[in-house]
Amino acid sequence: MTITLEITNCQDCPNHKNVPSSSTGDSFDMIDQDTVCTLANNREITVANRPWEIRRNSEIPDWCPLKKADQ
């Protein structure tokens, strides 16, 4: 059996994780999140996004390890 998953955004990929963004000391930044790729040694995909903006800012980068495996 072969299962394929079409990924159109890093948020759809099982190899991403969202982590709390580094604090700047500003209370408004407390909810910010970074998105990182676990296949690329936790390389940052997006930095300091509000939770409601993460998907819009998580387009698949050119350096995505899955893109390279697909070529």
pTM: 0.80
pLDDT higher than 70, residue 34: yes
Question: Is residue 15 within 8 Å of residue 37, measured between CB atoms?
Answer: yes
In sequence order, the 6+-apart residues with CB closer than 8 A to the CB of 39 are 15, 65, 66
For residue 55, name the pLDDT band (cuts at 50, 70, 90). very high
Residue 29 exposed, middle or buried by CB count within 10 Å (0-12, 13-18, 19+):
middle
pLDDT of 63 reads 95
- Residue 53 is classified by DSSP as G
Q: Where are the domains of the chain?
A: 10-21+29-70
